Structure 1
Amino acid sequence: MRLTNWTDYSLRVLMYCAACAQRDQPATISEIAEAHGISRSHLTKIVMTLSGMGLLETTRGRGGGLRLLKPAKDIVLGDVVRQTETDFTQVECFDAEHNSCRLDGYCRLKGALQQAMASYLQVLDGVTLADLVAPMAQPQGARLGQPMRVVPGLPRLALL
């Protein structure tokens, strides 16, 4: 199971905003684009979508930026993934309109993959945005003696 770049970037925007929630100045699209090496114009589209989903408040002008509309502890990862992913079709037989598999009706792969997807989403339903940005003693993947990548204005979290 693989997330699209759209969902990946959506989660990065939300995590960045959650990590910046206590700052006086809100996070900006330019700041997030630079921190993650993502196109500013692409992030603008994502931010507009997240705003339309009721997750982000956007303010234009000087002192403007992005803030979460609800607390990070109330944003469930499974909900965000369901809303940002456009296609959960893993194999051809998931799509009744385009299914030409000769094993359809006899094969148990479809059921196994549907069960795996349901389990995948169930795990994500147990994770909130706050869980993703909670300070950690040592970020996953970090090695002793290896410097962490620090983004100005963000607390030292799991940004490697």
Structure 2
Amino acid sequence: MNLTLFTDYSLRTLIYLGSLEGQQKASLEQIANAYGISHHHLVRVGQRLAKLGLIRTLRGRNGGIELAKEPADISIGWLVRELEENMNLVDCFSGEQMCVIQGACGLQGMLAAALQAYLHVLDRYTLADVIRNRSAFLKLLARAPERLP
């Protein structure tokens, strides 16, 4: 299963914010530059993360975005479920008759069980687990992508 770029960028945004020390804020521009990704894409990501209550947006001179929850309270499994619009591993998951062997094939059940196992594993982790080594993240994120070897 491939996660969409939207989910990838959402995770990266939360990792960036979670790696900041104290009550520091960041801008979407800073995050886009740190990862070498499109600022335009991050605007949509920021809107969705704010709607989910995961980040706060603050306007003005000292504005930016910050986590609205503690990293330990942000479940990776929940986040993937919220952000991924299509978790259908194969066409027959859609409920429509799309395959001539649908109904006789056992693959659909096996893949459904595999997807549930995948999500169950992600449910065991939070953003805090992802960013355990904050100092390493901060060092890596401080380097502009064009300066990477």
What TM-score do the two structures reach when normalised by structure 1? 0.83
1:1-160 alignment, distance < 5 Å: 1-22=1-22, 24-97=23-96, 99-135=97-133, 150-152=140-142
4+ runs of 1 displaced by more than 4 Å? 136-139
Gaps of 5+ in 1: 140-148, 154-160
Q: Secondary structure at the match of 1:150?
A: helix
Rounded Cα–Cα distance in structure 1 between residues aligned with 2:73 and 2:91: 35
Gaps of 5+ in 2: 144-149
Rounded Cα–Cα distance in structure 2 between residues aligned with 1:138 and 1:61: 30
Q: Percent identity?
A: 41
Judge conservation of contact 1:21–1:67 (CA < 8 Å) in 2.
no
Query: What is the deviation of 1:137?
Result: 10
Q: Which of the two has greater helix per residue?
A: 2
Deviations 1:18-63 (A, max 9, x none): 00142x5301101100011111111011101100001000111211
Rounded Cα–Cα distance in structure 1 between residues aligned with 2:24 and 2:51: 22
- Please give the root-mean-square deviation of Cα atoms over the aligned residues, in Å: 2.4
C-alpha change, 1:78 and 1:106, in structure 2 (3 Å) is same
Rounded Cα–Cα distance in structure 1 between residues aligned with 2:89 and 2:142: 39
- The answer to which structure, 1 or 2, has the higher relative contact order (CA under 8 A, 6+ apart) is 2
Q: Which moved more, 1:115-124 or 1:33-42?
A: 33-42
What TM-score do the two structures reach when normalised by structure 2? 0.88
